[in-house]
């Protein structure tokens, strides 16, 4: 299991939102490229970037900044937020992004994903954001009647290789991840799963790694790293030695 530091972009800055709320924002840096270099220097094996403005507006906003990050780093970068069209996906891949993350689009029109999966293969991931087990879309502001596990099974069935599972209720709260939700998801799909939301301590990472799920590929950590609750090397060691 690898640890992926999160860089959330809003108004050109690195921020974190509390439970995805646009009105509860904390700014952690004014230079996203510097922040990306910092995590790479700390030993990150990859980065998870969210274009928050893109998620809320429905189209990518920070493509130039993301391009600057991919040029500055040698580690893979995955990006989500507002990717509603094929052109949006291709533009990000063209600027050096290793994997794009589709969220709202996958839930609203899952049938249209099959040709995209065939085209982009490992370069395409689906982000499933859930609250109380139900999928949330459009920057977490709209609830659906779809169970996260059911959507994950559907995505894996059409060939999606990577699923990023975020528990919205725990995100940015530093209260620990939804380990049981991650366990259930990993048990139902063969795709790689990346866990996100609430990971704030070495114990959290050990609990996830302790699931011993062969397809639990990684964990995304944001606020805990920015608040200095834990360090990236500590988390990486915990992920590898559990």
User: Which residues are tagged catalytic?
Assistant: 8, 129
Count Cβ atoms below 10 Å from residue 118 Cβ, excluding itself: 11
Write down the residue that tokens 């982009």 correspond to: 120
Tokens 């130039």, residue?
A: 64
Give helix 32-41 / helix 63-72 axis angle, nearest 10°: 30
3-class SS of residue 175 = coil
Euclidean distance between CA atoms 104 and 127, whole angstroms:
8
90-94 long-range contacts, CB within 8 A, separation 24+: 91/60, 91/63, 92/60, 92/63, 92/66, 93/120, 93/123
Backbone phi and psi for residue 156, each to the nearest 5 degrees, phi listed first: -65, -35
Instruction: Give the length of the chain.
Output: 242
- Residues 60 and 154: their CA atoms lie apart, in Å, by 26
């Amino acid at each position: 299991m690898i640890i992926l530091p999160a860089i959330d972009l809003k108004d050109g800055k690195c921020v974190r939102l509390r439970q995805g709320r646009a009105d509860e924002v904390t700014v952690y840096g004014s230079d996203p490229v510097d922040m990306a270099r910092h995590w790479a220097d700390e030993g990150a094996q990859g980065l998870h970037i969210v274009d928050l403005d893109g998620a809320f507006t429905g189209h990518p906003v920070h493509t130039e900044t993301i391009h600057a990050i991919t040029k500055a780093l040698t580690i893979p970068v995955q990006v989500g937020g507002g990717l509603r069209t094929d052109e949006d996906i291709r533009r990000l891949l063209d600027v050096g992004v290793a994997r794009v993350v589709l969220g709202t689009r996958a839930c609203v029109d899952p049938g249209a994903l099959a040709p995209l999966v065939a085209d982009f293969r490992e370069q395409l991931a689906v982000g499933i954001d859930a609250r109380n087990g139900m999928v949330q879309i459009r920057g977490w502001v709209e609830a659906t009647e779809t169970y996260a596990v059911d959507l994950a099974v559907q995505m894996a069935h059409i060939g999606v290789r990577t699923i990023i599972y975020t528990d919205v209720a725990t995100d940015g709260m530093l209260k620990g991840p939804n380990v049981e939700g991650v366990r259930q998801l990993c048990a139902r799909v063969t795709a790689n799963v990346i866990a996100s939301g609430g990971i704030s301590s070495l114990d959290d990472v050990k609990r996830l790694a302790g699931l011993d799920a062969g397809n639990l590929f990684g964990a995304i950590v944001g606020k805990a790293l920015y608040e200095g609750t834990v360090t990236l090397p500590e988390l990486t060691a915990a992920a590898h030695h559990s």
